[in-house]
Amino acid sequence: MSAVTLRVDNLKVWYRTLRGDVQALDGVSFGVGDGELVGLAGESGCGKSTLGKSLIGLDASMRHVGGTVELDGKELPIGDPARMSGFRFKEVSIIPQYAMSAMNPTRRIGRMVAELLESRGVRSAGVHDELLRRLALVGLDAEVLDRYPIELSGGMKQRMVMVISTLLNPSLLVADEITSALDVSTQKAVAEALVDFRDRDYVKSTIIITHDLSLVYQIADSIIVMYAGKLAEKAPTDTLVAAPRHPYTRMLLAALPEVGVRHDTRRLEGIPGSPPSLLDPPPGCRFRDRCPLAFAKCAEQPPFTEVAPDHLVACWKAS
């Protein structure tokens, strides 16, 4: 990957709660190359959705504590909703987790799209032909524009939202768990559409947020694994799956049942324990309490460093 589209540097985003700050994203740094499709994987509460949301602008409960996000060389004003709205949809776009509720239920889809475009100062007639072309590409009839969202199946809604989100060719697309509610065959079609949109330069870079490593393995160029608000490992997809270096990544992969693996012949093991509370997280490596390799030095936070080309790991034992 030569040119870098997105650069995130030491980003910290916390949630304000009555009991204190939840340090959901605590010093995250990575880059996404031009045309790169990155899978962002992790378990519930690891901060992956917070990271995705941070890139398109914070909501009221989130606080930008530090760090920067740079897109195409310009710094994104992620903490400033008013300025951020100039970037959203045009430069950065998101396909939210629940496409079911992403569209206005009281409007026919075509009218909703036109209103959305006009609210961003774009003449809808000018992009209508392109809209039809892209609908055809994801296997939807132009006739869906005359329907209400409720008349579409889950997979159709998901593809519709995908077309709307990328209509203005954003530099960065964040796809948040967009296939988790779908059946396997629909899931494959939606995942392949993401690759297709990248191949056709509708989007420059894509971040796919998911809990399902085997799904991103199919389509991503590289994978980032998050744990408890920090990045654990980032590597090219095949390296991450075949030769992971972080103990968490290894244990997570070992806990996934695959077709052909059976309980009576090969018993898989989970990861004992649970992640620390992010309300007041302990210092040092956050995986320490569950890690079989932990030693005294883990009381100190390991840096997220390159152990091989494009392979970054936050673990003292990995280098």
Nearer to another protein, 58 or 99 (CB): 99
Q: Residue 138, interface with another protein (CB under 8 A)?
A: yes
Among residues 115, 118, 146, 183, the one that binds another protein under rule CB under 8 A: 183
Under a CB-based contact definition with an 8 Å cutoff, are residues 140 and 159 in contact?
yes
Binding mask 66-105 for another protein (x = CB under 8 A): ----------------------------------------
Structure tokens at 256: 């996934």
Q: Residue 213, interface with another protein (CB under 8 A)?
A: yes
Under a CB-based contact definition with an 8 Å cutoff, are residues 304 and 293 in contact?
no
Residues 6+ apart with CB under 8 A from 308: 235, 239
Among residues 3, 142, 261, 279, the one that binds another protein under rule CB under 8 A: 261
Question: Smallest gap, in angstroms, from Cβ of residue 102 to another protein?
Answer: 18
Q: Residue 140, interface with another protein (CB under 8 A)?
A: yes
Q: Residue 137, interface with another protein (CB under 8 A)?
A: yes
Closest to 12 measured CA to CA, from 77, 67, 56? 67
Q: Please count the residues of this chain forming the interface with another protein, following the rule CB under 8 A.
A: 52
**CB under 8 A: which stretch of 77-85, 90-98, 110-118, 253-261 binds another protein?**
253-261
Residue 144 backbone dihedrals phi, psi, to 5 degrees: -60, -25
Query: Could you write out the DSSP letters of every residue in 239-260?
Result: HHHHS--SHHHHHHHHT---TT
Q: Residue 108, interface with another protein (CB under 8 A)?
A: no
Strand (E) positions, 120-265? 172-176, 205-210, 222-227, 230-236
**CB under 8 A: which stretch of 81-89, 111-119, 185-193, 294-302 binds another protein?**
185-193
Structure tokens at 63: 């606080």
Name beta bridge partners: 20. 17
| Cα–Cα distance for residue pair 94/126, rounded to 1 Å | 22
Binding residues (CB under 8 A) for another protein: these are: 43-44, 137-141, 144, 153-156, 159, 183-189, 191-193, 196, 211-215, 217-218, 241-242, 251-253, 255-264, 267-271, 274
